[in-house]
Amino acid sequence: MSQTTDRTEQAWASNATVDQIVDRLRRSDSAVVLTHGKPDGDAVGSSVAIAQALIALGKKAIVLFDPPWTDRFDCVIADTPYRVLEGKADDPAWSDDRVKNADTVVVVDTGSWSQLAASEAFLRARADKAVLIDHHAHGDPEVAALRHIDTNAPAAAQIAADVTFNLLGLPSIAQLPLPIARAVYLGMATDTGWFKHPSVRSSTFRIAADLIDAGVDHSRLFLQTEQSDPPERLLIMQRAMKSMELVAGAQGAIMCLSPADFEETGADLSLTGGLVDLPKAVRTVEVSALLTQVEPNLTKVSFRSKASAKDIDVNELAQRFGGGGHKHAAGARIEADLSGAKKQIVEALEDALR
Ligand SMILES: [Mn+2]
């Protein structure tokens, strides 16, 4: 922990109820919605739900996504206004009237500067106008003045469901307009591994049932988002599996992807989602790690663990490398090339699984 500085130390915790978030959004005329880089189903679903609800109330809203970008969720984004950031100071997004004139910024599914790299300067200048909705255990409170953080929510989209049906003054989630219901369902389904993670409770299924009553075709959504990858997906999966090494008596699995793997297969980073989960199919495997070298001296690592008797906390593991996330899903960035990072991860897994 860092030493307390002269500024008042804020805690990573809610300082606003859902009702207070709703009130604040009602008073907005135009909003920019931000989420974490490499947006997943929950990031996209939560962003789209909030933006669509504001638009349904006659307000302006635009979502800014941090790359790498994928068209995987296009069916849910539909007509939602959005831009993909280029990660540059002179990004054309910053001179877009819808962005520069917005009176409110909404941050969803993250609260960490490290995950908001492309929009950090924009957001730092507007943190006083920012509202945050998140379910992560860690974050930087100064990202947004008004924060609703529920670490028990299996997805940020579940909080977005609460916010949107209240914002629209509806009697229940089952009355949500279909584009919002579909976005919320995507976020909840993808962050829970399609309703199988331990974070799922009876309330999760009740909300999912309401969303199906609102018209969501869950089977079609699965087909469109989980079974529509290009062939390069299988090629990069093949590389990941071929690189796999078992450590700590086959309790740990480590996979590595090098820049050459991407070059030779034609795959990009957006096609690596979920690969880290594959080794968990094996009984002995407690922790799985996927290392991806993204720059000559920068390797990203994703961790997954099982809700087993050992119940390894990979959030703790990721924190050793300056990262974080959830108990069973976390990530970090290591300033090293693939082999340097791998050495550190092997050691950390051997230690955690001793
Ligand atoms: Mn999430």
- Asked if residue 194 and residue 53 are part of one domain, the reply reads yes
Confidence of residue 325 (pLDDT cuts 50, 70, 90): confident
User: What residues contact residue 84 under an 8 Å CB cut-off, 6+ apart?
Assistant: 64, 65, 66, 67, 69
Report how far ligand 1's centroid is from the alpha carbon of 39 (Å). Answer: 9
CB 244 within 8 A of CB 280: no
Residue 9: per-residue pLDDT: 63
**Mean pLDDT (whole number) for 296-317:** 96
Q: Mapping DSSP to helix (H, G, I), strand (E, B) and coil, where does residue 57 land?
A: coil
Report how far ligand 1's centroid is from the alpha carbon of 187 (Å). Answer: 7
Report how far ligand 1's centroid is from the alpha carbon of 228 (Å). Answer: 22
Within 13 Å, how many C-alpha atoms sit on residue 298's CB side? 4
Report how far ligand 1's centroid is from the alpha carbon of 43 (Å). Answer: 6
Buried b (16+ CB within 10 A) or exposed e, 10-28: eebebebebeebbebbeeb
- Using the 3D structure, point to which of 174, 199, 226 is the last residue of a domain: 226
Report how far ligand 1's centroid is from the alpha carbon of 109 (Å). Answer: 5
Ion ligand 1: residue ranges with CB closer than 5 A = 42, 109, 156, 191
Q: Mapping DSSP to helix (H, G, I), strand (E, B) and coil, where does residue 209 land?
A: helix
- CATH code of the domain containing 245: 3.10.310.30
Residue 60: per-residue pLDDT: 98
Question: Above 80 in pLDDT, residue 4?
Answer: no
Mutual angle of helices 18-26 and 156-167, in 10-degree steps: 50
- Asked if residue 250 and residue 328 are part of one domain, the reply reads yes
Question: Above 80 in pLDDT, residue 267?
Answer: yes
Report how far ligand 1's centroid is from the alpha carbon of 154 (Å). Answer: 7
**Cα first-last separation, the chain:** 26
CB 25 within 8 A of CB 55: no
CB 107 within 8 A of CB 144: yes
**Mean pLDDT (whole number) for 281-289:** 97
Q: Residue 42: how many CB atoms within 10 A of its CB?
A: 29
- Asked if residue 52 and residue 197 are part of one domain, the reply reads yes
Question: Above 80 in pLDDT, residue 121?
Answer: yes
- 35-39, 211-215, 325-329: which has the minimum mean pLDDT? 325-329
The strand pairing partners of 180, in sequence order, are none
148 inside domain:
yes
Report how far ligand 1's centroid is from the alpha carbon of 264 (Å). Answer: 31
Residue 88: per-residue pLDDT: 83
- CATH code of the domain containing 147: 3.90.1640.10
Phi, psi of 255 (to 5 degrees): -120, 145
- Using the 3D structure, point to which of 169, 197, 226 is the last residue of a domain: 226
**Mean pLDDT (whole number) for 170-180:** 98
pLDDT tens-place string over residues 150-162: 999 999 999 999 9
Confidence of residue 5 (pLDDT cuts 50, 70, 90): very low
Q: Residue 165: how many CB atoms within 10 A of its CB?
A: 24
pLDDT tens-place string over residues 73-113: 999 999 999 999 988 888 999 999 999 999 999 999 999 99
- Asked if residue 245 and residue 222 are part of one domain, the reply reads no
Q: Which structural domain range is residue 104 located in?
A: 18-226
- Asked if residue 251 and residue 205 are part of one domain, the reply reads no
Report how far ligand 1's centroid is from the alpha carbon of 135 (Å). Answer: 7
CB 307 within 8 A of CB 286: no
Task: Round to whole Å and give the CA distance between 210 and 176.
Answer: 9
Question: Above 60 in pLDDT, residue 3?
Answer: no
Question: Above 50 in pLDDT, residue 217?
Answer: yes
8 inside domain:
no
Confidence of residue 220 (pLDDT cuts 50, 70, 90): very high
3 inside domain:
no
Number of folded domains in the chain?
2
Within 13 Å, how many C-alpha atoms sit on residue 133's CB side? 33
Question: Above 80 in pLDDT, residue 6?
Answer: no
9 inside domain:
no
Report how far ligand 1's centroid is from the alpha carbon of 174 (Å). Answer: 22
217 inside domain:
yes
Task: Round to whole Å and give the CA distance between 237 and 231.
Answer: 10
- Asked if residue 77 and residue 131 are part of one domain, the reply reads yes
Residue 68: per-residue pLDDT: 84
62 inside domain:
yes
